[in-house]
Amino acid sequence: MQGLRQTLSSPTHFGLIFRDTAGKTYGDIAQEIIEERAWGAVVINANATTNFQAAVQGTGGLLNGEWAPNGAISLYVASSRWFQVILEFLLPFLKMMMTPIVTQACQQATANFLQNADLATLTSLSTTQQAALATPFSYQTIDLRPIHDDQWAGAAPLEAGLIYFTIFAFHIALFLNFSRMPFFGALEKRGLKLSYLGTLALRFAPLPIAYLILSLS
């Protein structure tokens, strides 16, 4: 928390919001990200220090019999909200910001253990205890709405959707103009002429229908 607060003194920084997690569940945090109340969340999971201490003491703190340091901190995002912002901007800079903070916490935790450990304790450490001592804390990224490998075909419309709509609008207007030609020819043969309001209605009325079909597709 202190490390994240220090980043606010930089001229350019993330707009961080600090919250007490009392009364909140992981589901609550995930729902806030999905509802776009924030671009991401950094969650310091409960008992991170306790699990590390139990692991180096050989009394617990393990996941399936192994030390899992990335259980200490979780980064929640939803990359499908806007993949360019999340994957190309938010996550790289967030990890760049988190790495020195987590490294400092690891060094401090390891130093505290070594200060109180004697030679006999250090020589009798198991492989699991050594792994916990080498990496007390780490973080994991939880993508709540990921983009799967078979879904990247939608990247181009998301990135250049306005250009597509402009092109389609041009073709729709052009084709509608050509399709009206026989109608105008029939009116001229009868000596009739479409009023100004009638012309506007004929030009604009089909467009919402075409846009609706285009949007649904």
- pLDDT above 80: residue 137: yes
* Of the listed ranges 38-42, 81-85, 110-114, 157-161, the one predicted with least confidence: 157-161
What percentage of residues in the chain have a pLDDT greater than 90?
A: 55
For residue 147, give both structure tokens.
Answer: 């983009």
Q: What is the pLDDT of residues 61-79, one digit of tens each?
A: 999 999 999 999 999 999 9
pLDDT average, residue stretch 120-133 = 93
73-77 and 139-143 beta bridge pairing:
parallel
Structural domain spans, the chain: 2-147, 154-216
pLDDT value at position 32?
A: 94
Query: Concatenated DSSP letters for 52-85?
Result: HHHHHHTSS--BTTB--GGGSEEEEE-GGG-HHH
Is the whole-model pTM more than 0.75?
A: no
Q: Tokens 């050989």 sit at which residue?
A: 58
Q: What is the mean pLDDT of the chain?
A: 89
pLDDT value at position 173?
A: 76
CA distances from 161 to 87, 88, 149, 153, 167 (A): 19, 19, 20, 13, 10
What percentage of residues in the chain have a pLDDT greater than 70?
A: 99
The answer to whether 66 touches 127, Cβ cutoff 8 Å, is: no
